[in-house]
Amino acid sequence: MKVSKNALKILKKRYFAPGETWEQLCERVARKVAGDEPRSENRGEWEKRYKDMMLNLDFLPNSPTLRNFGRNEGCGSACFVLPLEDSRRSIFKTLSDAVDVQAYGGGTGMSFSKLRPKGDHIRSTGGIASGPLSFMEIFDFTIGDIIQQGGTRQGANMGILRVDHPDIESFLAAKALEGTLKNFNLSVGITDVFMNAVKNDEDYDLVFAGKVYKTLPASELWEKIVDGAWENGEPGIVFLDTINRNNPLQPMGEIEATNPCGEQPLLPYCSCNLGSINLSQMIQGDWVKGNAEIDREKLRQTARTAIRFLDSVISVNNYPISEIEEMTLKTRQIGLGIMGFADMCIKLHIRYGSGESINLAKEIMSDIYAVANETSVALGKEKGLAPAYEEYPLSGPKRRNSTLTTVAPTGTLSLIANCSSGCEPNFAFDYSKACLEGENLDIVPAVVGEWYLKERTKSLPEFFVTTKDVSIEEHIMVQAAFQANGVDSGVSKTINAPYDTEKSEISKAFFKAWEMGCKGITFYRDGSRAVQALTIRKKPMEAEEAEVLVRGALKHRPRATTGPSLKMKTACGKLYVDPHFDKDGVVEIFIRTVGGGCAANTKALGILLSYCLRAGVSPEKIIGSMKSIHCPACTKAISSGKDVEVNSCAAGMGKGLEVALAYGDIYREVAKRIEDADIHFNGIDASGIKELICPDCGATVHRAEGCLLCSNMECGWTRC
């Protein structure tokens, strides 16, 4: 199968050796993996099967395997979890190990929960502990800014802190400033005890080493978790008790952390080798005409071949450190998953999120797991069992691999395969993805092109849905269906929700995921970050839809505008933001501070933002940029629990504009009525009047530069 133009861009940037083609890449990877076959006469046969499976985009292994195998001595595994104990020796050994893992092309997950809280006394040295966050910052800088992951991109890490750790509140505020800990995804390790405390409105203890450091209402902590997820998508949630109850390796210890995308809970020093079946390719018949069905034999055969492939990756792999090699060979964990599920739904004329799609998810994953289990049992007889079965009383049938299935996000792999990612719905049918360093890819899903090629209609049928068409509950139902029906590790799932999603909906979503047995969940509100990976492309407005402005021109400001006056609390005082509308939209914004802050700067920003609005800059663009700005004073005040409502004065300006836009229809209508009424203002004759009073604040008004101005700098009223 010919790969797409976007796939070629990605492959050339990250995967190809110099001068390599897609077919040659598949050949070198297949040859390396087939080298595990004990009998030389079998290697050629398996090499061909592996090559064809990848070349035809029926299955792809995780990125490190594609990039490194047959080309260099890099590792073929993507996921690793490293331990962190409460000692300098352990912390800096883990940092050293993480550097080695990242250099080999892998991502790392770590729980910082065993590190003592900030300010705690260190008995051995008499010093004071700096806390988990200080070490996360060291890891972030070392791994992300110094070491490039596999030589191609900055490192990916998962940082987890238990919800009962005394530093949890600081952890939740750690990424309030966008760009902080940029190489870490953050997740809170949630326990059943905490969830029940929230549910029953009980108090909750923050504990370390048996000592209670603080007691607070569980709901208060829960609100901070939800606030963070609403604000910028972090933290994610990891349900630790659910993970450990369903851990196939339970006798070997307790799982504390996951890989960077959250779908692979792992014991310390364990790794996992991932690969995904492209479900979009498992369809036969004319799907556009509604005559398609699942090619079940192809699906089962692909699963059989993929399991053998992933098991062999373990045997021929190059490992970054000896502890990882030892644990990987002992457990032989693999993670066969899927991508293209949303495309499969479309090809079967099933609406993603419907009851029919939920049943399809259960059926598909159950079939894959059954074949995977059968194949791994057979491989155990052929090549030997995973040694963990001999050392520990693991449950289930004895087989070659202790875990079999995982649903990964497949972000880049799905672009190579030209299908929808993981078990997610299509993000949109025309969007941009920040995929390559410094370059965005414009993406139109293959199913859309195939439909229009045969059906020359202007609109897509109702079974073509995107993430904005899927309810929060439907997102969770899909995730739970995969998790409970054939996934022994985890399922990567992000609820991409609209910008105007309420915090209460996030709270309900997290509770729903916990109740349905999901092992973790991430919530992202579209537009909540200034920089995001996926963006729906907007077509240019037609000439008649908007006034066309030449470069440097400003829209005429009418005689009268209207809008709300919004007051917010900052770390320095009160901030007043007054966005004003004409009949077409917001055209100016007045800003002032009272009780602290720099009045001149806020007034200047108001003038500049008004110029931007009148010059045609999108209000949404201004909101995104302003809300991403944080100041140390506000961040410190928020972290210490003070009653501060914004992350900076600039963020407050963005927030005020955002609130006003939500009621824009009202203000535009009022402005239109004022304009239609043709209201005129009588001039003010100031001759002979010694003192005028400001109509806004009552201060003295004086004349300057041919205009009347309020003498109160905190007011800013002007007659002009």
Among candidate residues 26, 67, 65, the one with its CA nearest the CA of residue 47? 26
In the β-sheet with 692-693, what is the strand arrangement from edge to edge? 692-693, 700-704, 707-710
Return the structure tokens found at 82. 């490293």
In angstroms, the Cα distances linking 323 to 408, 481, 645 are 24, 35, 47
In angstroms, the Cα distances linking 79 to 107, 438, 697 are 6, 26, 62
Q: Is 348 helix (H, G, I), strand (E, B) or coil?
A: coil
Q: Which of 26, 79, 261, 694 is catalytic?
A: 261
Respond yes or no: is residue 259 known to be catalytic.
yes
Whether the upstream peptide bond of residue 409 has omega within 30° of 0, thus cis, is no
Q: Residue 438, class by beta-carbon neighbours within 10 Å (0-12 exposed, 13-18 middle, 19+ buried)?
A: exposed
Strands 293-294 and 283-284: antiparallel
CA–CA separation, 334 and 328 (whole Å): 10
Alpha helices, H only, 615-718: 619-627, 632-639, 649-662, 664-676
Return the structure tokens found at 458. 């202007």
Q: Residue 592, class by beta-carbon neighbours within 10 Å (0-12 exposed, 13-18 middle, 19+ buried)?
A: buried
What would you report as the CA-atom Rg of the chain, rounded to the nearest whole angstrom?
29
Longest dimension (CA), the chain: 109
Alpha helices, H only, 455-538: 472-484, 503-515
Provide CB contacts within 8 A for 581, sequence distance 6+: 561, 562, 563, 587, 660, 664, 667, 668, 670, 671
Return the structure tokens found at 294. 């699942």
Return the structure tokens found at 154. 């900055």
Q: Which of 169, 263, 424, 658 is catalytic?
A: 263
Q: Which of 232, 246, 259, 485 is catalytic?
A: 259
CA–CA separation, 709 and 720 (whole Å): 8
Q: Measured at the alpha carbon of residue 662, what is the angle toward residues 659 and 665, in degrees to the nearest 5?
A: 130
Return the structure tokens found at 408. 């990964």
Q: Please report where in the chains the tokens 């799932």 appear, as a residue.
A: 493
Q: Please report where in the chains the tokens 């004022």 appear, as a residue.
A: 674
CA–CA separation, 671 and 86 (whole Å): 63
Residue numbers annotated as active site: 259, 261, 263
